[in-house]
Amino acid sequence: MAAHTILFDFTLDKDKTGGEKQRQEVAKVLRGELEHVFPQLELAYWMESPENGYFAVLHENKDTVVTVRIFQHGLLTLNVEYFLAEGKEPLLSFEVRTHRTLRLEKALALKLTAVRGQKLPALKRGDVSRYFPSSDERIIEYDIDKIVYEARSPFQKIQIMHSKTLGNMLLLDELQNIAESDLIYTETLMCRGVENYEGKEICILGGGDGALLYELLKENPKHVVMLEIDELVMQACNKHLSVICGDVLEKRKTDQYEIIVGDCVDYLKKFIAEGRKFDYVFGDLTDIPITDTPVGETWDFIRTIFEHSFKVLKPDGKYLTHGNGSTCTVGLRLFEEQLDLLRPKVKFATTKAFVPSFMEEWLFYQVTFA
């Protein structure tokens, strides 16, 4: 069960909405067409203003609520909202057998002689979260059908949701992290088939979902140390995302790897003091921020990670990390400018992959000493 909101918008000739009288005529036509779908429609409230145009709230049996706005610039918006109980048929649907939504949009467009019009499938709110942002803040609807796990750790909100097409999906602070469908993400991050990890010493910063560690161990490295701050993330992924992490989160230490629960910066400082060096360091931490300037807590954290990571990297070693969506050109440019400021100087290459659970192309970085 969920609240359903269906959105329509129409672009009209400005002459039809420029004055109060014209907007009232449009509202009259609109109500006449709405009454074909909602025969018991009643007007609950309306108002007019020269600056903001016409606004009205209508309802049918105080159940279905319709809000209308007619702007003086020629834009008309219509929102229909109602509660759909479990097992009931949608009031308005895009299904071919009913066409009620399509017929309403077509009838309104014809009656209003609209320049253009569109309708959107119902937004469903209230039962499970379905809408999450892309990296450039577009709304993506997922086919989520249940919440598998939900908790708050001292560090973040942790959710694992089930998608019909993606499988179980990890979200941290309501942002997509990885799903059972996302092997391509891990393989692109580690440049599988390009890098040779056999006999190498590797450090993973973050990586609490266990996917990177699981895939790296298949490459027969000498040893992997993983620094993850959030124990609860690892427990949740071990139980609900074993498809991507296998059983590596079952143990904290074996001959092949060690998982250390703690702040990665503190342990990087410890490794620096000990003179410990790695062939590969993976930054599997926060995404590149979407900002206009490299200022703020997250950017400071990224610079701190850079500073310490390259101090534990062997001269011929490599730092591998994920960036952000390839459409986030400003954030990616700022990130690359931070790399250019590093001393000793570094050089970088990038790879891209379409990540199923992100529903977009993602950029990955491979950084070495120049």
Question: Rounded distance, CA 10 to CA 107, Å?
Answer: 12
Q: What single string gives the DSSP state of each residue in 70-89? A: E-TTSEEEEEEEEEE-TTPP
Burial class (CB in 10 A: 0-12, 13-18, 19+), 216: buried
Is residue 126 within 8 Å of residue 5, measured between CB atoms? no
Which residues are catalytic, by number?
A: 284
Show the tokens assigned to 81.
């909202």
Cis previous bond, 294, omega within 30:
no
- Give backbone dihedrals phi and psi of 24, rounded to 5 degrees, phi first: -65, -35
Q: Quick one: which of 292, 214, 221 has its CA closest to 251?
A: 214
352: DSSP letter: E
Helix H or strand E segment including 329 = helix 329-340
Helix H or strand E segment including 238 = helix 231-240
